[in-house]
Every structure is written in C-alpha cells, then in structure tokens.
C-alpha cells in the first residue's frame, strides 16, 4: 500500500519503489521517503497551472503511442507526472492506458506539493500549520483545530471566476478534503446516508468528524448545525466504537476564508 503499485507495460507487472523499500528496511519503519527522491524543480511550475486537476488525473486515460514516443513537456501534466513517477499505469483499455497514483506514499507527496500552491502560502508555514491541524483533530481539540484551518485557508484565491454559491462551497470543500488527507486521515466527500449527503466525513484513529459546509449567505452556522441534527448525520456512525463529532463550518466569499464554526 505504501511502496508498491508501479506498472510500466501492458502486462501490469507490479514493481515496488526500491529506494523507499530500502529506506524502510534500513530505518525499520514505514514512512514517506519519496519526497526525498522524487521531487523535481520543474514539478512545482507545472502544478501551478494544474493544481485543481491533480485529483482528476487519477483514473485518466492517455494514448499508448503518445506515452511511449513523446518527450517530456510542461504542457501535458499527465505525461510529465507519469515519467517522473507520480503517476503509473493502472489498467489498459483498448489502445489507451489508465493512469493513477501508484501508492499512498506518492499521492501524499504530490498533494504536499499542491497544497502550498493552492493556498498561495510558504511551504514551511503550511507544513507547520498542517502538523498542528493533525495534532488537534487527532486529540479532539476542535477549537484549536478549526483555528488552524482558519489560518491555512485565509484569503485563498479562487480558481474560477464563477460566482455561484455552490462553486464557492465546492472550492472550500476541495481544499479541506486535501488538507485532511495530508494529515493522514481517512476522508470521504459527499458521503451518502439515509437522509442526505454529508459534505465531508473525516476519520482519525479515535474520532469521526461529520462536517457540513455552508456559506455565510446561505444560512450560516445555524443552517449547517440544523442540517447535521435534523438529517441525523451523526447517527449514521453510531455503531462505530469511535467518538462521533459534528462540525458546522461557515465560509465567507468576501473574506475568502473560514468565518465561523460550531461543534455539534
């Protein structure tokens, strides 16, 4: 799950990342070693233009002849990410390859590069804030955790010129989902339950967070809180041995950030 998953031909013969395997054996523990070997100077420049498309690359198609004969270029992120090891062949459909992330280690490393670009923040500042976010949500410190989110998301630029409310909500949900993923949490988006769809379900080792997002001009904290309660979102996880916490988050499109929150 961490280091396997590379395929370089139609036979789909699996290959482990030798560098990461050797590092793991040397240190006697599983952790992410890819970032020390796989980062390139060109990659952040490419991701600056395609940061919102990275997720869509998982499961995307590319022509066999193109992938085998074309030179690396910065106009096609799929080809560059394949040849630099961030994507690999996952399946074959007729004369096309299905590309995807090889494993957890590589996907995490890629999103760690994407997030600072997306947030337009310094990488060191982002890394420190994410560590605090991880610690606070892991221990159930919602107040400090949401303050970390507010710091990270503050004044994030929008990737679209559309002004519809759902576009703004989608923008913030996309960022939150990737922040929680980098923390190592299990994240589900628009999870279908009996009475509706939960915007985000974030699962740590001890806690399940049921998160509802609203814009400040769409009912705010009250509407998000009521939706969690009246649609029984928390009840969907009552059989779990983990604590279940409802979290209403309200965002403001003018300030481009997290405005208010409520623990349910």
- The pLDDT value given to residue 167: 63
Record the pTM. 0.77
pLDDT tens readout for residues 152-206: 887 665 554 444 455 677 888 888 998 998 888 999 988 888 888 899 999 999 9
Confidence band, pLDDT 50/70/90 cuts, at residue 109: confident
The pLDDT of residue 73: 66
Residue (of 192, 26, 181) closest to 110 by Cα position: 181
Question: What pairs with residue 247 in β-bridges?
Answer: 211, 263
Per mean pLDDT, which of 11-15, 37-41, 250-254 is the most reliable?
A: 11-15
Residue 191 tokens, joined: 């999870």
pLDDT-based confidence at residue 74 (cuts at 50, 70, 90): low
Q: Where are the beta strands (DSSP E) in 101-229?
A: 186-193, 196-203, 207-215
**pLDDT confidence of residue 38:** 57
Q: 25 pLDDT exceeds 90?
A: yes
| Whole-angstrom distance, CA of residue 207 vs CA of residue 192 | 19
How high does pLDDT run on average in the chain? 85
Q: Which pLDDT band, with edges at 50, 70 and 90, does 22 fall under?
A: very high
Domains defined for the chain, CATH in brackets: 18-107 (no CATH), 120-263 (3.40.1350.10)
């Amino acid at each position: 799950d961490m280091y396997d998953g590379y395929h370089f031909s139609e036979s789909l013969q699996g290959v482990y990342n030798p560098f990461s395997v050797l590092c793991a054996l040397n240190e006697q523990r599983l952790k992410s070693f890819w970032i020390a070997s796989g980062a390139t100077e060109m990659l952040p420049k490419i991701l600056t233009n395609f940061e919102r498309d990275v997720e869509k690359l998982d499961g995307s198609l590319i022509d066999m002849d193109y992938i085998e004969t074309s030179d690396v270029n910065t106009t096609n992120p799929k080809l560059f990410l394949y040849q630099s090891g961030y994507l690999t062949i996952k399946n074959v459909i007729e004369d096309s390859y299905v590309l995807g992330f090889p494993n957890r280690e590589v996907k995490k490393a890629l999103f760690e590069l994407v997030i600072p670009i997306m947030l337009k923040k310094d990488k060191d500042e982002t890394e420190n804030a994410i560590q605090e976010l991880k610690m606070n949500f892991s221990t159930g410190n919602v107040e400090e955790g949401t303050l970390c989110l507010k710091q990270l998301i503050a004044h994030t630029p929008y990737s679209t010129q559309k002004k519809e409310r759902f576009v703004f909500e989608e923008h913030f949900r996309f960022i939150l989902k990737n922040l929680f993923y980098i923390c190592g949490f299990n994240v589900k988006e628009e999870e279908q339950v009996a009475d509706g769809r939960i915007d985000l379900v974030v699962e740590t080792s001890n806690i399940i967070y049921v998160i509802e997002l609203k814009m400040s001009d769409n009912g705010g904290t009250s509407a998000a809180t009521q939706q969690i309660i009246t649609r029984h979102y928390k009840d969907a996880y009552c059989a779990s041995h983990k604590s279940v916490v409802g979290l209403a988050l309200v965002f403001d499109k003018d300030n481009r950030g997290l405005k208010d929150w409520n623990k349910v």
